[in-house]
Amino acid sequence: MAQQNEHIKKLLVARDNEVVHRREVAAALAAQHQRGHEEDMRVAIVSIQNAIEAIDRAIADEKLISSDTLRGI
């Protein structure tokens, strides 16, 4: 169980980092008025959000693995 918790902790840190990154890009997008850069930032936000959602799925999977291990499956 301790090892599983370590995996989840690492994923949570990675998720927190991605959320910070998304907020930074969103702030830059809100302040940006130069053509061309806006599209790059939109693409970046979509990519970051996809990463966050993938990490959320990985966390859920780690929790499932952990509960299966506890039940002896």
Joined together, the tokens standing for residue 35 give 């053509």
Phi, psi dihedral angles at 38 (to 5 degrees): -60, -45
pLDDT at 62: 94
Q: Considering only residues 9 and 68, tell me which one the structure prediction assigns the higher pLDDT.
A: 9
For residue 66, name the pLDDT band (cuts at 50, 70, 90): confident
pLDDT at 70: 65
Token pair 């090892």 in the structure block, residue: 3
* Distance between CA atoms of residues 36 and 55, nearest Å: 29
- Cα 42 vs. chain centroid, distance in angstroms? 17
Tell me how far CA of residue 34 lies from CA of 2, 26, 45, 47, in angstroms.
49, 15, 17, 21
> pLDDT, tens digit, for every residue of 7-61?
999 999 999 999 999 999 999 888 866 667 788 899 999 999 999 999 999 999 9
pLDDT at 5 over 70: yes
